[in-house]
Amino acid sequence: MKLTGAEILCESLTRLGVREIFGYPGGAILPVYDALGKSKLHHVLVRHEQGATHMADGYARASGGIGVAMATSGPGATNMVTGIATAMMDSSPVVCITGQVSSKVLGSDAFQEIDITGITMPITKHNVVITKAEDIARTIREAFLIANGGRPGPVLVDITKDAQQASADFNWEASEPKLPPKRLRNNHDQAEFDRAVEMLNTAKRPIILAGHGIMVSGAMRAFEQFVRAGNYPVAMTLLGIGCFPANDPLNLGMMGMHGEAWVNNAIQEADLLIAVGMRFDDRVTGDLRTYAKSARKIHIEIDRAEINKNVRVDVALIGDAREVLEKLTPHTETRDHGAWINHIAELKGDSAVRDIQSLPDNGHLYAAHVINDIWKETGGEAIVVTDVGQHQMWEAQYYHHNRPRTLITSGGLGTMGFALPAAIGAKFARPGSEVWVVVGDGGFQMTMSELATIVQEKINVKIAIINNGYLGMVRQWQEFFYDKRYVATPLVAPDFAALANAFGIRGERVTKRAEVVPIIQSARESDETVLIDFRVEQEDSVYPMVAAGASLSDMIRRPNNPLVETATEP
Amino acid sequence: MQTLVAYVENKPGVLNRVSSLARRLAINIDSLTVGPTENEEIARMTIVAHTDERGAHRLEASLEKLVDVLLAENISTRALLERDLALIKVSADQQNRPHLMELIKVFRARVVDVAPESLIIEVSGTVDKIDGLLEVLRPFGVLEMARTGRISMTRGGDLLQPPAAEPVNSELESASSNVT
C-alpha cells in the first residue's frame, strides 16, 4: 500500500495505540497535520509547545503509557526543550515529533530551520532525524520501544518535510524495529544477591527508601509483599509518593529536604538502607559526608549509571524493581523490628500535633490548610498535579496519596509552569478520574495560556492557585539565607478569578479558612473546570527544612507557634 | 587515566553523542580513536579518559545507555596491548643525520620520508615509548607531529566482541497504559 510519509506516521501512531497528540502546527509539519485531519487520532491544540510536552508527560505519568507531543521546526521545536528536559529528569516516556525543513535545504539556515536533534541530544534518551518516508514506520516503532524500555525517557523524532510528503510502501509487519544489539549484562551474581539477603536478614534498624522506579516498573504489589515480609518502615522520595499507601502504618512519608525531621532522623540512625528505584538525589540526601553513616546500603536500580553515583552502596542489585523484589521476598525472613519501629514512633513524638494542620482557625488562611482540605474532600482519591515550589512541598506533606500515579509533579528538573498543562494530559489519560491542579501564583502565570486549551477541549480539571503574592520558595530562601532581602520575589498577578471568567471558566476567590471546604465541594460538584484563587498567608514557610548542602540531621524545625511566627496582618 | 573500549553503530552522529556524554560528565578525554571493525556496520572506539575508577564506571554505564552504543567496557585493570602511532617531522642536516638514524634504530622506528633539511619518522608502540623517542628527538628540532591516539586490546583469550542481534520485546512498543 502506497502512503505519504505523513500518512504513514499517523497510521503508525494509531497502530501503536496512540489516541491523543498534544501539539501545535506550523509550516514544516503541515503535511502531517493534513494527514492527522483524516485519521482517527485526536489532536489537542495547545497554546505553547512547552505545554504540549508537559501534557504528553502528564499523560504518560498518569497512564503508565507513552505521551506524544508534536510541533513544527525551529521555534516550535525549541519551545519543547524545557518539557523534554523535564521528562528526561523524571524518566517519563514521551515521544516528541517535530517537523524539519526539507532534506535538500538542511544545513542552509532555511526559514525556521534549527538543529533540534543537536539541541536535545543531552536531554533525550535518544533522538533521530528522518529524511525518507520509508524509514518513518520503523523509526516511530523504535522510538516507542526506546521511550518505554528500561529506564524510560523522552525520544525526539525529527521528520523532514520532504519525507512527510514523499510516498512509500507501507508495510507494518516489514517495519519491525531494528535497534542495535545490546550486550546482555549479568546484572548481579549470586554472591551479591546472597549478600543482600544476608544484610536484609541481619539488619536491626532497616529502612526502605522508595522511589519512582517502583511505579515505573509496576512493582507496587511486589513492593508491598516485600515490605510485609520484612516489616520494613518505608520512607519515600517525592516521586515515590503513591507507590505505597500513605495510610499504611509502615509508611513514614516523604524524606529529604522537606521531609519530616523524624523520618530523616530514622534514616540517619538506620543500620540498613534499602533503596528501591531511587537515585539518592541531593534533595534527598543533604550533605553526603554525613548521610546515613551507620547504615549499610542495598541499591535496587535498573540504571547501572546510578550505582555509586552519589552514595557508595554495599550491594547493587541491578534490574527491574519488580523482578528483583519478587526474587528477594522469598528469601526475606520475617522480623517484627518492633524495637526499631517503636523508636521511630518516639522520634516522631509530638510533631504530628505541632504541625500547622492541627492548629485552630485564627482567621488566617494557610496553604497547608487548603491542601489538607482538598485531601479530605477528595478522600485522597484525586490525581493531583502540582507545580514547583512551596505548594508542591505542602502537597507532599498534607495530601496523603494511597494510590500510584496520583501525584504528578516535576521532581528532578523542578519546572515551574508544569502543573496546568501536565494536568490536562493527565485528564486525557484518565478521563474518569478527578484531577486537581495545585499551583502557585508564579508558576501558574508561566503557562496559564493553556486555560484556553481546557476550554477548547471542554475538559474538567479543578485548579487551586495557592496565591501568596510571592515566588514563595525563593522568598523563603531569601528569608532564611539572605536576611529577608526579597529581591525579585514579590509578584503582581492578575485577578485570577476574573481571568478565568475571561477564558469562559468559572473563577472563585477564597480568603478565609471557613470558605475553603464549601468552595471545594462546590467545585467538585461542577462537571466543568473551576479555578479557585486561594489568597493564602504571604510569608508562610515550608517546615521542616534541610538547608541546601546541610546534613540531613540538621533540620530547620517548625517554629513552636507557627501562627504567631509566620502570620502577618492582612 | 582510564581506558575504555566501546563498540558503536558505524553511522553519523555517534561520535558526537559519545564525546558530548563525556563533556556532560565533566570527563576530559585524553584520546579517542574510532575505526571500523570486521563488521562494517560496527565501529570500535578506544577512549582514554582523565578520570578515576568511579568516573570510568559512570562513563561506561552511561555510554551503554546510548542507543547507538552496543557495548562499553572499562579495561584499565586488564592485561592490555596498547598501541599509539606517531609521525614526527624532525629537522636533520648532514651533520646530525647519522646520530638521528642511530636513535631511530634503537626505538625501532623508521624513516618514511627524507628531505634535504628534515626527516619524517614513523613510530608505533606504547605511549611511553613514543614519548621517550620524542624526548630524545626534541634537541634536533621537532617541526611537526601527528599522533593517532591509543588503540587497546585485551590480551589472549580475554575477548571483547560486539554483541549479536537480539529479538525485540514488542510488549514495550505500545502507548497503552499499565496502571496497576
Q: Is the pLDDT of residue A355 over 50?
A: yes
CB contact under 8 A, B173 and A141: yes
Query: Which pLDDT band, with edges at 50, 70 and 90, does A362 fall under?
Result: confident
Please report which helix (H) or strand (E) contains residue A462, including its range: strand A462-467
Out of A328-337, A355-364, B60-69, pick the least confident. Answer: A355-364
Asked if A145 and B168 come within 8 Å (Cβ–Cβ), the reply is yes
Q: Is the peptide bond before A544 cis (omega within 30 degrees of 0)?
A: yes
pLDDT attached to residue A56: 98
Smallest Cβ distance to B58: which of A68, A146, A305? A305
Using pLDDT thresholds of 50, 70 and 90, give the confidence band for residue A90. Answer: very high
Asked if the model's pLDDT at residue A99 lies above 60, the reply is: yes
B70-84 per-position pLDDT tens digit: 999 999 999 999 999
Q: How confident is the model at residue B178 (pLDDT cuts 50, 70, 90)?
A: very low
Alpha-carbon Rg for chain B, nearest whole angstrom, is 21
- DSSP secondary structure, A215-240, as one string: HHHT-HHHHHHHHHHHT--EEE-TTT
Q: Tell me which residue of A230, A292, A227, A297 sits closest to A263, measured CA to CA.
A: A292
| Shortest CA gap A516–chain B (Å) | 32
**A432 reaches B (C-beta below 8 A):** no
β-pairing verdict for A530-535 and A545-546:
unpaired
**Average pLDDT of chain A, as a whole number:** 94
Please list, residue by residue across A9-23, b when 16 or more beta carbons sit within 10 angstroms of its beta carbon and e when fewer do. bbbbbeebebbbbbb
* pLDDT at residue B168 tops 60: no
CA distance between the termini of chain B: 47
**Length, in residues, of chain A:** 570
What is the pLDDT, as a whole number, of residue A568?
A: 34
**Would you list the DSSP string of A474-530?**
HHHHHHHHSTT---S-B-----HHHHHHHHT-EEEEE-SHHHHHHHHHHHHH-SS-E
Q: Spell out the domains of chain B, with CATH numbers in brackets.
A: 2-78 (3.30.70.260), 81-152 (3.30.70.1150)
Contact present, A121 and A84 (Cβ < 8 Å): no
How high is the pLDDT of residue A424?
98
- Positive or negative: CA dihedral A400, A403, A407, A411: positive
d(CA A519, CA A215): 33
Is the pLDDT at A565 greater than 50, yes or no?
A: no
Q: Is B135 on the interface with A (CB under 8 A)?
A: no
Q: What is the pLDDT of residue A319?
A: 93
**CA-CA distance, B20 to B33, in Å (whole number)?**
15
Residue A354 confidence class, pLDDT cut points 50, 70, 90: low
Distance CA A381, CA A379 (A): 5
Confidence grade of residue A380 (pLDDT, cut at 50, 70, 90): very high
pLDDT, average across residues A30-44: 98
DSSP H/E element including A99: strand A94-100
Residues of A within 8 A of B160 (CB-CB) are none
* Average of per-residue pLDDT values in chain B: 91
- Provide the residue type at A454 as one letter: I
Query: Under DSSP, is residue A146 helix (H, G, I), strand (E, B) or coil?
Result: helix
Q: Is the pLDDT confidence value at A352 over 90?
A: no
B57 touches A at CB < 8 Å: yes
DSSP A270-327: -SEEEEES----HHHHSSGGGTTTT-EEEEEES-GGGTTSSS--SEEEES-HHHHHHH
Q: What pLDDT is recorded for position A86? A: 98
**In the predicted structure, residue A569 carries a pLDDT above the cut 70:** no
pLDDT score for A183 = 80
User: Is A193 within 8 Å of A317 (Cβ atoms)?
Assistant: yes
pLDDT tens sequence across A56-87: 999 999 999 999 999 999 999 999 999 999 99
Domain ranges of chain A: 2-175, 190-348, 355-566
pLDDT tens across A217-233, in order? 999 999 999 999 999 99
Strand order in the sheet with A272-276: A251-254, A234-236, A206-210, A272-276, A296-301, A315-318
How distant is the Cα of A34 from the closest Cα of chain B, in angstroms? 22
Q: Tell me how far apart the alpha carbons of residues A469 and B132 are, in angstroms, rounded to a whole number.
A: 69
Farthest-apart Cα atoms in chain A, separation: 74
Cell numbers linked to A316: 547493587
Give the CA radius of gyration of chain A. Answer: 24
CA gap A311, A448 in Å, rounded: 39
The Cα–Cα gap between A15 and A29 comes to: 20
Count CB atoms within 10 A of the CB of residue A476: 21
Supply the pLDDT for residue A551.
93
pLDDT score recorded for residue B165: 72
Residue tagged 524495529 (cell numbers): A177
Interface touch B179/A145, C-beta < 8 Å: no
Domain A2-175: CATH superfamily, name plus number: Thiamin diphosphate (ThDP)-binding fold, Pyr/PP domains (3.40.50.970)
Whether A225 contacts chain B with CB within 8 A: no
Rounded to two decimals, the pTM is: 0.94
Lowest mean pLDDT among A232-236, A368-372, A382-386, A556-560: A556-560
Mutate to test the interface with B, among A42, A55, A144, A182 (most CBs of B within 10 A): A182
pLDDT value at residue A566: 39
Q: Which of B62, B164, B168 sits opposite A179 (nearest CB)?
A: B168
Structure confidence at residue A105 (pLDDT)? 96
Query: Rounded to whole angstroms, how far apart are CA atoms A206 and A329?
Result: 15
Q: Is the pLDDT of residue B152 over 90?
A: yes
- Give mean pLDDT, residues A87-111: 97
pLDDT for B180 equals 39
Contacts of A404 in chain B (CB under 8 A): 179-180
Q: What is residue A560's predicted lDDT score, i.e. its pLDDT?
A: 65
Q: Residue B172 above 80 pLDDT?
A: no
- Fold annotation for A190-348: Rossmann fold (3.40.50)
Burial B89-118 (b: 16+ CB within 10 A, else e): bbebeeeeeeebeeebeebebeeeeeeeeb
Query: E strand or H helix at A338, and its extent?
Result: helix A338-348
Per-residue pLDDT at A335 exceeds 90: no
> Backbone dihedral region of B135: left (phi > 0), alpha (psi from -120 to 50 degrees) or beta?
alpha
* pLDDT recorded at residue B164: 82
Chain A neighbors of B165, CB-CB under 8 A:
181
The answer on pLDDT for A563 being more than 50 is no
Confidence of residue A350 (pLDDT cuts 50, 70, 90): confident
pLDDT over 80 (residue A163): yes
Please report which helix (H) or strand (E) contains residue A202, including its range. helix A190-202
Q: A188 and chain B: CB distance < 8 Å anywhere?
A: no
Range among A29-38, A555-564, B99-108 rated most confident: A29-38
Whether the pLDDT of residue B111 is over 80: the answer is yes
Hey, are the CB atoms on A303 and B65 less than 8 Å from each other? Answer: yes
Q: What are phi and psi of A534, to 5 degrees?
A: -90, 110
Distance of CA B88 to the CA centre of its chain: 19
8 Å CB contact between A240 and A215? yes
The model's pLDDT over A515-556, given as tens digits with 9 standing for 90+, comes to 999 999 999 999 999 999 999 999 999 999 999 889 999 998
Cross-chain Cβ contact A144/B178 below 8 Å: no
Q: pLDDT at position A438, please?
A: 98
Give DSSP secondary structure letters for A25-61. Answer: --GGGHHHHHHHHTSSPEEEE-SSHHHHHHHHHHHHH
Q: Contact at 8 Å (CB) between A233 and A274?
A: no
DSSP letter string, chain B: -EEEEEEEESSTTHHHHHHHHHHHTT-EEEEEEEEE-SSTTEEEEEEEEE--HHHHHHHHHHHHHSTTEEEEEE-TTS-EEEEEEEEEEEE--TTTHHHHHHHHHHTT-EEEEE-SSEEEEEEEE-HHHHHHHHHHHGGG-EEEEEE---EEEE-TT----PPPP----GGGS--S----
Catalytic residue among A111, A176, A381, A565: A111
Task: Locate the chain B residue with the closest alpha carbon to A220.
Answer: B180
Name every chain A residue with its beta carbon within 8 A of the beta carbon of B164: 181
pLDDT at B179 exceeding the cut of 50 = no
Strands A167-169 and A2-4: antiparallel
Options 3.40.50.970, 3.30.565.10, 1.10.10.60, 3.30.70.120; which CATH number does A355-566 get? Answer: 3.40.50.970
The model's pLDDT over A184-195, given as tens digits with 9 standing for 90+, comes to: 776 778 999 999
B33, pLDDT greater than 80: yes
| pLDDT surpassing 90 at residue A433 | yes
pLDDT top residue among A182 and A126: A126
